[in-house]
Structure formats: C-alpha cells, structure tokens
Amino acid sequence: MLYGAAMIRQGTWLVPFGAGRHAPIAGEDQARVIVGILENPKAHAGKTYPLVGPVEHNHKEISQIIGSVLGKKLYCEQISIEKYGEILSSRPRGPARNTAATAYAAADKAGGAGSDFVLQHLKEIAIDHQNGIFSGVNNYVQEIGGRPPMTVEQFVEKHRSEFWE
C-alpha cells in the first residue's frame, strides 16, 4: 500500500487492478518467513510458499479500511493500465517519498517507471489479479515466521505517518 501513499495522502487512490481480491502482506511478514526458512533450510527444501496476509480484500475494500483507520474519506478509483502508466511516467524524479513512480524506481535501468517493461509487468499483475491468481489465505506466515501476518488495519496504523501528514 505504500506505493500509493502519495495519492492516499491526497484522498484518492488510483489503481489499475480491477475488482479482483487478494490478501495483502507486509514486507516484514515476508521477511520473517524468509528468516524461518534460512534458519532451517532442509525442512523447506523444494517447497513453495505463496505468502499472503490474513484477509482477502479488493482495492475498494482496502481503501475503505485505510480511510477508516486514518479517520478520513478515501476515494478509490479504478483506472486503465494505460492511464496508470501515464501517471507513473509523469512523476518527477528525485528524492520522492512513496509514490507509484518510486515503487518502481529499480526499473530505471529498464527504461524508467513508465517504461514498456514496467507497464507490461503491471498489466500482467492486473490480469492475474482479475483471474484470482493472488486470491486465498494460508498460515505460512505464522507457521514459518512465528506470528500471524499483519492485517491491513495494523499495517496502516503502523505506517500512519506515510499515509497522513
């Protein structure tokens, strides 16, 4: 969600992912699982763990949760991947905070945040999102990482300063 923090601070979250559902997972929850695997690699050899958060949501539901935690109205608008690409490529470069463009800053070597590579990547994510590839929940974060994954509410509260100035 931090990739959209700049938009969220302004009261509108533009997303190109449609109404598909997924269970958002925090990076630190993923990291705990990775540490758990590295501490006991033999037990996890050859296994694949789809890492997800505790509850499935669509982006509209996530925006409602964010707004509720922050105590403000947040409008979530579904836009085309092409429009999202225009937004990415129009963002200024430099020491920007968590904007959609900086979320893909590593892609600069591939042509920048608005590059064909990044846009194709995001388009495929949007398609997979709509096709349910990211749906479902499981207990891997708790089983391997040692504690339950953060909810959207907990994540927003923890990172409140990024979403609200």
- State residue 109's pLDDT score: 46
Looking at residue 112, its pLDDT comes to 52
Distance, in Å, from the CA atom of 161 to the CA atom of 5, rounded to the nearest integer, reads 10
Average pLDDT over residues 130-156: 95
Task: Express each pLDDT in 99-121 by its tens digit.
Answer: 444 444 444 444 455 567 778 88
pLDDT, residue 92, reads: 57
pTM above 0.75, yes or no: yes
Domains of the chain from N-terminus onward: 2-160 (3.40.50.720)
Give how far the C-alpha of residue 58 lies from the chain's centroid of Cα atoms, to the nearest Å. 12
Spatial distance between the Cα atoms of 101 and 88, rounded to a whole number of angstroms? 5
Which segments of the chain are extended strands (E)? 12-15, 75-78
Report the pLDDT value the prediction gives residue 140, as an integer from 0 to 100: 97
pLDDT tens digit string along 16-41?
A: 888 889 999 999 999 999 999 999 99
DSSP annotation string for 1-34: -GGGHHHHHTTEEEESSTT--B----HHHHHHHH
Mean of pLDDT values over 57-61 = 94
Res 91: pLDDT: 62
**Span 146-161, mean pLDDT?**
96
The reported pLDDT for the residue numbered 69 is 96
